[in-house]
Chain A
Amino acid sequence: MKTLRKKLVRDLLSSKWLFIAVTIVIFLGVALFGSSFMAYLNLQSSYDYSYQQLGFADFTVKVNSSPLSTVAELEQIPGVKSVTGRMNTDIGVSLPQKNGQSLIATAISVPGNSRPQVNDLKVEEGSYLSPGEKYGLLLEKSFAEYHDLKPGDSILLDGTEGELEFTTSGIVTSPEYIFPAKNKNEFFVSPDTWGVIFISDAALLELTGNDNINEFCVLVDEGADVDSVIGLSEGVLAPFDIIDVVTSDEQPSNAGLKLDLQEFGEMAEIFPVLFLFVGAMTTFILLSRIIQRQRGQLGLMRALGYSRRQMLWHYLGFALVIGIIGSLAGIIAGYLLSESITDLYIGMLGLPYKITNFHWMAMEEGVFIGILPCLIAGIFPALAASRLRPAEAMRTPPPTAGREPLIEKILPFLKRVSLLWKIPLRNIFRNRRRSISTVLGVVFGVVLILASAGFLDSIDSLFSVQFDRIQRYDARLSFAQPVPQDMADEILDWNGVNETTPILEIPVSLENGDKSFQTLMLGMPPETDLYGLYTPGGNPVALKEGHILLAEAIRNNLDVKTGDSITVISSYNKTVFTVGGFVKQPMGSFGYITLEDAQQLAGAQAIISGILLSADSSTIAGLRNTASQNLDAVSVEITSEVESQMMDLMDLVNTMMWVMLGFGVILALMVVFTMITVSLIERRREIATMRTLGERSGRIAAMVTIENMALGIVGLILGIPLGYTVAMYLMQLVQTDMFSFDLVFYTRTYLLTAGIMILVILISELPGILGLRHLDLAKVTKEQVS
């Protein structure tokens, strides 16, 4: 059927802008899917390969103290492949290159003469520790990059016998710190206050005076049951006071990455689904309209002897062309984009190895999911077309029954308005399917814009809540070892310091019945101005003795409510607290009690672990120097720096959301353009008739604009709550223990969305309106009514 194919191609070309618009929607959907899904697969492969190459531990057991010989005992357990025993301790660090800036580092021992069998390191720059090189040190890559430290640079480490100078041998990446998280509660820690270093076991022995180890990293045989190996290992290690067992799934960096990957995967599904749904809807409407316009041709072809099946395939061909071109172009663009996204992501995280594959399956899936909605959308109008009887198809349909619209009955004054307003108003109600299509186009555009804009507003709001309302302090001093409480008063005497708040942070386990949750307990004076506590509704809440306030995210983990009693277990004490309420906490999931209660938990001593302070800006600028000169083993966290680092971290998410928003606007433009253009083409005859009667083009354009704007407003009214609901759903997907987003929409976002949609409508109708000016009145007035 060569000629039918020719007709298909020429029909497509004669309405090329409409087809291009719908194809772009499919293209965007498939490109989004392809890029995010293939990047997701690349990232997953890169993680897996990195973990496999570096022997990432299946689980790690933290004990109080154990001799190194226990490693051999663990290696005897069936299913254990290899074990690395090591010391992991916090240690004071001073950086001579940065005017002696002091901070606290997690120091991890590595064998002096060989590589660790489990949790190995990849040397990115310089070299691994040479055998016998006692004062060499390896720096975790993100920490080294932040401080611009290179191999050969000196670093001072605090030991029991004073400071020791070490030389940086190499810059390394570690499977445990691909995302440098200190622990699950302190996920984002500024490299100004904390970092990770690796030194030889001999050097760590000299610094700490302790030749025992406190961590066992275990790699199990392939196929072995990790849980049973953990059980057997706990049996062996029980005499050494087990503090914690962390499986690879719970390991903070891996957990964070997996969560990130999971969100990536979910986003890889949700946004493309939205686009493809809209693409399907647009294809359906476009094809229905084409068939409506071609009723006469359809009837003729059936009269000539073309079969139903031939007509079905002919009209399905329109949808298939959209699907095939959109999908193929989309998947190619998706593949190219996935390479860039993978590079960007891996570069940002500093992943040890990058694996990018050509994912045939994903390519095929992309093409399939691009074609499928077009096929589904096309099959209904094409089937309807094929079922049309030839005589019926060629018969001019009777004019739509004219009746007074309901709105004129409700608002009688509308009957008296001029024709300029009355005609557009009646048009809206005359062809409801046409009007509903345009409204749906606007609704989908609004939904996509709001879903992306909601993320941007929520991230912005998260920062505002965290750094303006909760963290009101300018800086925070954290001590490696607890210090007396009166240290806060001493620091208040420092020049330029306006206010100090002593705090005590204790790692605890919260228990409610059989449910438990490991977190940090923050004790502080109830009257502090430097740390704000708010209910989820935003009202301030104060600490009370005997009461505990919990981050909102803990509520479900522990299944508790206000007034319940929960047990708080520290390494010193076990105390029952009454849940005083829940607090808004965008980052982390902590518990809050009074400083006095915290000190009771820590063994009834008047000690603190840190100080929050507010100070003049010049004092803040020199605070690190002042602290390192006056205090031992202290890290200084400047709030404005943390905020700026967090914002850098959020840059990728923000960029993705802006891209999504841009896609949303393009999608809205394509959909609304298609709807309006189709609507105008269908009404060429009546518009030509009005022109023939002497109506000015400008006045007709005004009528078209009034009608489209009215439909646009209806679309906005329906789209805003729907967009809010979709944004809410998306937001729920990214809620975790570490991040707790509130869905926030600023008023300006609603106004901006409305503005964008009005602009989209005006731009969309422009080609159609310009086309109406050049109508061949004699010819068009003879066309069949549709």
Chain B
Amino acid sequence: MNNNDVQIDISNVSKSYPMGTFMVDALKEVSLEISRGEFLVVLGPSGSGKTTLLNLIGGIDSATSGRITVGPTEITSLDERGLTRYRRDNVGFIFQFFNLIPTLTAGENVELAAELVDKPRDTMEVLRDVGLGDRAGHFPSELSGGEQQRVAIARALAKDPPILLCDEPTGDLDFETGKHIFSVMRNINRESKKTVIIVTHNTAIGEIADKIIRLRSGQIVEMKDNPSPIDPDELRW
């Protein structure tokens, strides 16, 4: 992979934030390059800084020091308005607890994101892509956990962003449903050439990635390419 394929360039990034009366060093001098269309899994135990790293890439949190460049844009130098525009046009988020708006139906949750961009994908089409074409009118409370997470994926895809950021996307799901979700993501990655970054504490999931990064106490302790990722259906944990 040559330098032109580098989509996300993270250079000496540190992040500290207050937690109650303490200051927590969530990330310490982290440097990393992520290529366009890569399927990356960030592994690490709870408190290792993986969610912080994802949040910084997604522009929903700001680094204490260091530089993050996404495509031609150095997002660490953007103001609030610039970050909003960056998130709107470049990033789709998928969270562990789905974060659906309970008062909106599945379709409306997707529309909530679609309305933000000029050329969104068709709501019904993305719902069909995740296998929920017939559930658009249902409220989150009427859907199973797996269905809710698929709505969250559809919501992330509705804006058609080049990057998908997934924070423990199967953490609240059973094994089978979790595998299904990873299949959906891998397909999106392959078919749409979107960069997918997944953070998880589950080491088994690293096997489906193109690249694996291990974090511990806010530092990268291992970074390796996976030349032969397995199919999500073959996952076992």
Given A3-B108, A3-B111, A303-B87, decide whether A308 and B101 contact each other with a Cβ distance below 8 A. Answer: no
**Chain B residues closer than 8 Å to A301, beta-carbon distance:** 112
**Chain B residues closer than 8 Å to A644, beta-carbon distance:** none
Whole-angstrom distance between the alpha carbons of A690 and B99 in the complex? 26
- A302 contacts the other chain (CB 8 A): yes
**Chain A residues closer than 8 Å to B115, beta-carbon distance:** 1-4
**Chain A residues closer than 8 Å to B87, beta-carbon distance:** 302-305, 390
Given A305-B84, A305-B88, A389-B62, decide whether A394 and B99 contact each other with a Cβ distance below 8 A. Answer: yes
Which of the residues B20, B99, B116 comes within 8 Å of A305, measured between beta carbons? B116
**Which of B14-44 touch A at CB < 8 Å?**
19-21
Given A390-B61, A391-B61, decide whether A307 and B112 contact each other with a Cβ distance below 8 A. Answer: no
- 0/1 interface trace, chain A 1-43, chain B, CB 8 Å (1 if under): 1111011001101100000000000000000000000000000
Give, as a whole number of angstroms, the nearest-CB distance from A389 to chain B. 6
Whole-angstrom distance between the alpha carbons of A401 and B97 in the complex? 26
Whole-angstrom distance between the alpha carbons of A398 and B104 in the complex? 28
Which residue of chain B has its CB nearest to the CB of A305? B88
Which of the residues B97, B111, B155 comes within 8 Å of A2, measured between beta carbons? B111
Which residue of chain B has its CB nearest to the CB of A304? B113
Judge whether A7 and B62 touch: CB under 8 Å: no
Can you offer 17 A-B residue contacts whose CB atoms are under 8 A? A3-B112, A10-B103, A299-B99, A301-B112, A302-B60, A303-B93, A304-B88, A304-B93, A304-B112, A304-B113, A306-B116, A307-B84, A308-B81, A308-B84, A391-B52, A394-B60, A401-B21
- Which B residues have a C-beta under 8 Å from some C-beta of A? 19-21, 52, 55, 58, 60-62, 80-81, 84-85, 87-89, 91, 93, 95, 97, 99, 101, 103-104, 108, 111-113, 115-117, 155, 159
Which of the residues A2, A10, A305, A394 comes within 8 Å of B85, measured between beta carbons? A305
Give, as a whole number of angstroms, the nearest-CB distance from B110 to chain A. 9
Which of the residues A3, A14, A307 comes within 8 Å of B81, measured between beta carbons? A307
**Chain B residues closer than 8 Å to A4, beta-carbon distance:** 112, 115
**Chain B residues closer than 8 Å to A2, beta-carbon distance:** 111, 115
Whole-angstrom distance between the alpha carbons of A308 and B60 in the complex? 12
Task: Tell me which of B60, B104, B155 has the highest count of chain A C-beta atoms within 10 A of its own C-beta.
Answer: B60
- A296 contacts the other chain (CB 8 A): yes
- A300 contacts the other chain (CB 8 A): yes
Which of the residues A6, A11, A300 comes within 8 Å of B93, measured between beta carbons? A300
**Chain B residues closer than 8 Å to A308, beta-carbon distance:** 80-81, 84
In order of increasing CB-CB distance, the 6 nearest A-B pairs are: A305-B88, A10-B103, A390-B60, A391-B61, A391-B55, A300-B99
Instruction: Tell me the count of chain A residues lying within 8 A, CB to CB, of chain B.
Output: 29
- A89 contacts the other chain (CB 8 A): no
- A208 contacts the other chain (CB 8 A): no
Give, as a whole number of angstroms, the nearest-CB distance from A627 to chain B. 80
**Chain A residues closer than 8 Å to B103, beta-carbon distance:** 7, 10-11, 13-14
Judge whether A299 and B60 touch: CB under 8 Å: yes
Judge whether A398 and B19 touch: CB under 8 Å: yes
Judge whether B89 and A305 touch: CB under 8 Å: yes
Given A4-B112, A303-B58, A305-B159, decide whether A394 and B84 contact each other with a Cβ distance below 8 A. Answer: no
Give, as a whole number of angstroms, the nearest-CB distance from B48 to chain A. 16
**Chain A residues closer than 8 Å to B52, beta-carbon distance:** 391
**Which of A394-413 touch B at CB < 8 Å?**
394, 398, 401
**Chain B residues closer than 8 Å to A303, beta-carbon distance:** 58, 60, 87, 91, 93
Judge whether A10 and B60 touch: CB under 8 Å: no
**Chain B residues closer than 8 Å to A10, beta-carbon distance:** 103-104
**Chain B residues closer than 8 Å to A6, beta-carbon distance:** 104, 108
**Chain A residues closer than 8 Å to B88, beta-carbon distance:** 304-305
Judge whether A302 and B104 touch: CB under 8 Å: no
Give, as a whole number of angstroms, the nearest-CB distance from A268 to chain B. 40
- 0/1 interface trace, chain A 65-91, chain B, CB 8 Å (1 if under): 000000000000000000000000000
Judge whether A398 and B20 touch: CB under 8 Å: yes
**Chain B residues closer than 8 Å to A307, beta-carbon distance:** 81, 84
Whole-angstrom distance between the alpha carbons of A6 and B104 in the complex? 8
- Which A residues have a C-beta under 8 Å from some C-beta of B? 1-4, 6-7, 10-11, 13-14, 296-297, 299-308, 389-392, 394, 398, 401
* Given contact pairs A13-B103, A390-B55, a sample of 4 additional A-B residue pairs in the complex whose CB atoms are under 8 Å apart: A1-B115, A6-B104, A305-B88, A394-B95
Give, as a whole number of angstroms, the nearest-CB distance from A328 to chain B. 24
Judge whether A7 and B104 touch: CB under 8 Å: yes
Judge whether B116 and A304 touch: CB under 8 Å: yes
Whole-angstrom distance between the alpha carbons of A102 and B202 in the complex? 106
Give, as a whole number of angstroms, the nearest-CB distance from A143 to chain B. 67
Judge whether B60 and A389 touch: CB under 8 Å: yes
Which residue of chain A has its CB nearest to the CB of B158? A304
**Chain A residues closer than 8 Å to B81, beta-carbon distance:** 307-308
Judge whether A306 and B84 touch: CB under 8 Å: yes
Give, as a whole number of angstroms, the nearest-CB distance from B63 to chain A. 11
Which residue of chain A has its CB nearest to the CB of B100? A300
Give, as a whole number of angstroms, the nearest-CB distance from B193 to chain A. 21
**Chain A residues closer than 8 Å to B60, beta-carbon distance:** 299, 302-303, 389-391, 394
Judge whether A389 and B112 touch: CB under 8 Å: no
Whole-angstrom distance between the alpha carbons of A6 and B111 in the complex? 11
Give, as a whole number of angstroms, the nearest-CB distance from A399 to chain B. 8
Judge whether B84 and A302 touch: CB under 8 Å: yes
Which residue of chain B has its CB nearest to the CB of A300? B99
**Chain A residues closer than 8 Å to B159, beta-carbon distance:** 304-305
Give, as a whole number of angstroms, the nearest-CB distance from A391 to chain B. 4
Judge whether A297 and B101 touch: CB under 8 Å: yes
Give, as a whole number of angstroms, the nearest-CB distance from B56 to chain A. 9
Give, as a whole number of angstroms, the nearest-CB distance from A679 to chain B. 21
**Chain A residues closer than 8 Å to B95, beta-carbon distance:** 300, 394
Give, as a whole number of angstroms, the nearest-CB distance from A319 to chain B. 18
**Chain A residues closer than 8 Å to B117, beta-carbon distance:** 305
Which residue of chain B has its CB nearest to the CB of A311? B84
Whole-angstrom distance between the alpha carbons of A488 and B109 in the complex? 94
Give, as a whole number of angstroms, the nearest-CB distance from A341 to chain B. 42
Give, as a whole number of angstroms, the nearest-CB distance from A266 to chain B. 45
Whole-angstrom distance between the alpha carbons of A2 and B55 in the complex? 28
Whole-angstrom distance between the alpha carbons of A485 and B99 in the complex? 96
**Chain A residues closer than 8 Å to B99, beta-carbon distance:** 296-297, 299-300, 394
Task: Tell me which of A296, A303, A390 has the highest count of chain B C-beta atoms within 10 A of its own C-beta.
Answer: A303
Which residue of chain A has its CB nearest to the CB of B110? A3
Which residue of chain B has its CB nearest to the CB of A12? B103
**Chain B residues closer than 8 Å to A11, beta-carbon distance:** 103
Give, as a whole number of angstroms, the nearest-CB distance from B153 to chain A. 13
Which residue of chain A has its CB nearest to the CB of B86? A305
Whole-angstrom distance between the alpha carbons of A392 and B19 in the complex? 11
Which residue of chain B has its CB nearest to the CB of A386? B80
Whole-angstrom distance between the alpha carbons of A620 and B97 in the complex? 87
**Chain B residues closer than 8 Å to A302, beta-carbon distance:** 60, 84, 87
**Chain B residues closer than 8 Å to A299, beta-carbon distance:** 60, 99
Give, as a whole number of angstroms, the nearest-CB distance from B214 to chain A. 22
**Chain B residues closer than 8 Å to A389, beta-carbon distance:** 60-62
Which residue of chain B has its CB nearest to the CB of A11? B103
Whole-angstrom distance between the alpha carbons of A391 and B93 in the complex? 12
Whole-angstrom distance between the alpha carbons of A6 and B95 in the complex? 23
Whole-angstrom distance between the alpha carbons of A10 and B81 in the complex? 28
Give, as a whole number of angstroms, the nearest-CB distance from A383 to chain B. 13
Judge whether B104 and A3 touch: CB under 8 Å: yes
Which residue of chain B has its CB nearest to the CB of A2? B115
Which residue of chain A has its CB nearest to the CB of B109? A3
Which residue of chain A has its CB nearest to the CB of B172? A782
Give, as a whole number of angstroms, the nearest-CB distance from B60 to chain A. 4
Whole-angstrom distance between the alpha carbons of A300 and B108 in the complex? 14
**Chain B residues closer than 8 Å to A392, beta-carbon distance:** 61
Give, as a whole number of angstroms, the nearest-CB distance from B115 to chain A. 6
Task: Tell me which of B20, B95, B103 has the highest count of chain A C-beta atoms within 10 A of its own C-beta.
Answer: B103
Give, as a whole number of angstroms, the nearest-CB distance from B118 to chain A. 12
Which of the residues B19, B58, B112 comes within 8 Å of A7, measured between beta carbons? B112
Give, as a whole number of angstroms, the nearest-CB distance from A275 to chain B. 30
**Chain A residues closer than 8 Å to B116, beta-carbon distance:** 304-306
Whole-angstrom distance between the alpha carbons of A10 and B159 in the complex? 24
Whole-angstrom distance between the alpha carbons of A306 and B87 in the complex? 9
